[in-house]
Each structure stands twice: as C-alpha cells, then as structure tokens.
Amino acid sequence: MQTLSQLQSGELFGTTHLKLSESLTTFPLEILSLADSLEVLDLSNNLLTSLPDELETFSKLKIVFASNNLFDTLPSVLGRCPNLEMVGFKANNIKHVPAESLPKRLRWLILTDNQISLLPDSLGERPRLQKLALAGNRLTALPSTIENLHNLELVRISANQLTECPDSLLSLPKLAWLAFAGNPFCQSDINIQSVPKIKATSFTLQETLGQGASGVISKAIWNQAQATLPQEIAVKVFKGQVTSDGYPEDELQACLKVGNHPNLVQSLAQVHEENYLALIMNLIPAHYKNLGLPPCLDSCTRDTFEPDFTLPIEKIEKIVTQMEDVFEHLHSNQVCHGDLYAHNTLVDEAGNIIFGDFGAATMYHMLSSQQQNKVKAIEQRALKHFIDDLLNICAKQDVNTKQYKVLREKT
C-alpha cells in the first residue's frame, strides 16, 4: 500500500503498481504523471464516484480495481483504455453499465454486489472474457450476445432476479465454474434438517482456521459436553447477506443436501438465528494442508502452486480417484460445487483428501433433465482442469509412466 503523500512528492514516479486507500473523494490528479508506466491501479476502499477521461492515455494499464467505492455508473473511460484487461468494481452503487465502458481486451470483469438490472449487448462482444462475477445484483436476464463468449470459463450470477435458466450460458464450450443459486428460476422449497439446530451460545469460538468469501472458519469448544457430537469441532460463521458467490443460506442448504462422504468436510449441526448463521463441522486434522493456491491475476481462472512443488504420479492418481468419487457423489445429489479447485482441497502426506468450501454451490434438482446434464458437464470440465493442473506439477521422472498417460487422456 502506497500513500498519497508519496505520490505527491514524486517518490512513486515510474511505478507500475499503485494502490491507494485513504478515503479519497476525488481522483488524485498526480496519478496522471504515471501515464507512461502504470500497469495496475487499485483504488479500492475509497469514496470515489468518477474517473478522469485522461485515463485513456495510460497505454500500459492492464488492471483497474475500485471496489468499495461510491460509483453509480461504470466509468465509460475504461472502455477507451487500449490494453485494459481486468476491471473490478465490487460493492459500489452501480446501476448503469454503459455499452462503451467495457474494454475491448476485457478478460476479467467483477461487478459483484451492486444494483445492476441490465447489462449491455457489448458484453458479448468481448471474446477474450474468461471470468465474469455478477452475484448480488438485480439482473432479470442476461444479454443474448453472451452466447458468443466462447472463452468464458468462470461465471458467478447467484443472488440476482433471473427468472429463466440462461441456457445460452450453459452451452458455452469452456465454462467450467458456475454459481447460480439464489435466483427465482432455481428457487427451492427444500429446507433440509439433516443435522440438528443448536444455539450460538452452545460453543465458544477460538482461533481462526481460515476464511473465504462467504464466512470465517474457527476452531471451537463446546460450553457443555455434547453426548452425540465430537468434542473437537470447527464452526463456519457466515458473513452478511450476500457474498461474491451468493447467499449464505444457499450455501448451507447445498452443504446439507450433499450429505456425508469420506472426502468431504462433515456437517454436524447448524445455527439458524437472527443475524447469525453458522455450520458446525468436524475439525480437520492439523496434518492436512492445502493442495493448491488460488488463481492469480496472470492465471485468471486456473490454480497456482507453491514454487517447485511437485507430486509423484502415485499420489496424483490417488487424489484424482478420490475427487472423481466426490464429483459423482455431488451430482448424484444434484448439487454443483461451482468451485472445484485444488485450492479448495486439503491433502495429507498419504494423499488422502478432504474437499470443502461450498460458497459457490448450487442445488439444481429443479432444472429440466437437459439443463441438469449441462450443469454436470460444466463441472466435468472443472474436474478435467483439476487433473490437468496436478499433472502439470507431476514429478519429472513420472511423466512417461502409464499412469500419467492414462490420467492425461482424461483431460
């Protein structure tokens, strides 16, 4: 994080990455002095409502993030930035997305948690688009031109007002990660009570184990011993009304609909009180570690891994076999995970996995059989990418083995 005073003093002249968060109400004109060098501009967490027209002169600018500001319109100048690829305006007050506001080279568009009811047809005229996040808006339909987005791989349209299943979206050839819960077309009257409801006062949260878009997971202890539940537990307390993947209530119901599986985090109980929603789960043993890391700006939709991290083919084969079984279990229960990735997978030294994070999960039993088949096919692509990512970190001495070749055929 840099400071406005550094910028004003000239200390940041020639910088390629600029991140300012100082409750700014106007765009600092000193940023214009970086027109020849700036590649990444992050003005998130300010009070901005507009960007200057001069931004179109930034010839090297590839990324603009301005989440948590006060924009009510996506600035049109973004569409005139010649090399802009990534645009993130999450959690503003955006109601309008002008046709000309979308850059020609757009690859990544994040407009989560705004007030958008209509998107321009120009969205379907951005053939490089790979990642599209629109959860938590007021969309009643998607542009018909979306059928032209043949490179689109990840889509989040949960928590909108879509009245019909977007069949053109389901037919896209590269779509692999899809979340659509919390729309009228996929409403369900299912209220799964497969685990008991308990009070939030039944336990005390301890150290944080991790957190994602939808909630914070903590270790917890019971305030009174529970005869039917394990003594060691983890609790996921869901955040606010909407997340980057949708509504917490939809995530909870999807978790419960899936039920138990040896390679899934087991749900034990739930808390469903006013302003407090939580899922109590088995505590995962400490020796399990994340298999992968989330996508980066360069990889966009594909997982990353620690530098020089490799796996022997025997362990990859074991991991894949387990994930394939998880995949079949999910879809036999008509639940699409929506985020089938190595970074949502925990693994131990023996190659045993535990798969979790249902933030993007969607129940799809209410769709037609043809639509259900398409949803499953979409997640099948994610499974293929999962296998491909693991084979790309396979130990060099194993890449010519029969096991490797058999797995490669699955991708």
| Residues in binding site | 236
pLDDT-derived band at 232 (thresholds 50, 70, 90) equals: confident
Q: Confirm whether 192 is domain-assigned.
A: no
Per-residue model confidence as pLDDT tens digits over 322-343: 999 999 999 999 999 999 999 9
| Residues in binding site for ATP | 236
Task: Give the pTM.
Answer: 0.93
Q: Confirm whether 217 is domain-assigned.
A: yes
- Domains of the chain: total: 3
pLDDT-derived band at 1 (thresholds 50, 70, 90) equals: confident
Q: Which among 149, 129, 182, 117 has a CA at the least distance from the CA of 338? A: 182
**Residues 166, 204 within the same domain:** no
Instruction: Find the length of the chain.
Output: 411
**Residues 59, 114 within the same domain:** yes
Q: Edge-to-edge, what's the strand order for the sheet holding 267-273? A: 203-211, 215-222, 233-238, 276-282, 267-273
Q: Which among 82, 73, 19 has a CA at the least distance from the CA of 50? A: 73
Q: Confirm whether 195 is domain-assigned.
A: no
Q: Taking 80 as the threshold, does the pLDDT of residue 254 lie above it?
A: yes
**Residues 216, 315 within the same domain:** no
**Residues 257, 331 within the same domain:** no
**Residues 271, 339 within the same domain:** no
Q: Is 355 helix (H, G, I), strand (E, B) or coil?
A: strand
Q: Which residue has the tokens 């009180």?
A: 273
Point out the least confidently predicted range of 233-242, 305-314, 374-383.
233-242
- The CA–CA distances, whole Å, from 394 to 4, 320, 349 equal 46, 13, 15
Per-residue model confidence as pLDDT tens digits over 282-295: 999 999 999 999 99
Q: Taking 80 as the threshold, does the pLDDT of residue 411 lie above it?
A: yes
Q: Note the pLDDT of residue 214.
A: 80
Q: Note the pLDDT of residue 59.
A: 95
**Residues 396, 357 within the same domain:** yes
pLDDT-derived band at 241 (thresholds 50, 70, 90) equals: confident
CATH number at residue 219: 3.30.200.20
Q: Above pLDDT 70, what percent of the chain?
A: 100
Q: Taking 90 as the threshold, does the pLDDT of residue 396 lie above it?
A: yes
To the nearest whole number, what is the mean pLDDT of the chain?
94
Q: Taking 90 as the threshold, does the pLDDT of residue 190 lie above it?
A: no
Q: Note the pLDDT of residue 357.
A: 86
Q: Which residues, in sequence order, are bridge partners of residue 216?
A: 211, 237
Q: Taking 90 as the threshold, does the pLDDT of residue 246 lie above it?
A: no
**Residues 68, 157 within the same domain:** yes
pLDDT-derived band at 317 (thresholds 50, 70, 90) equals: very high
**Residues 218, 259 within the same domain:** yes
**Residues 231, 325 within the same domain:** no
Point out the least confidently predicted range of 47-61, 219-233, 368-382, 393-407.
219-233
Which domain range does residue 158 map to?
Answer: 4-186
The mean per-residue pLDDT over the stretch 179-184 comes to 95
Q: Note the pLDDT of residue 252.
A: 86
Q: Above pLDDT 90, what percent of the chain?
A: 85
Q: Note the pLDDT of residue 215.
A: 86
The mean per-residue pLDDT over the stretch 73-89 comes to 98
CATH number at residue 73: 3.80.10.10
Q: Which residue has the tokens 């990324």?
A: 63
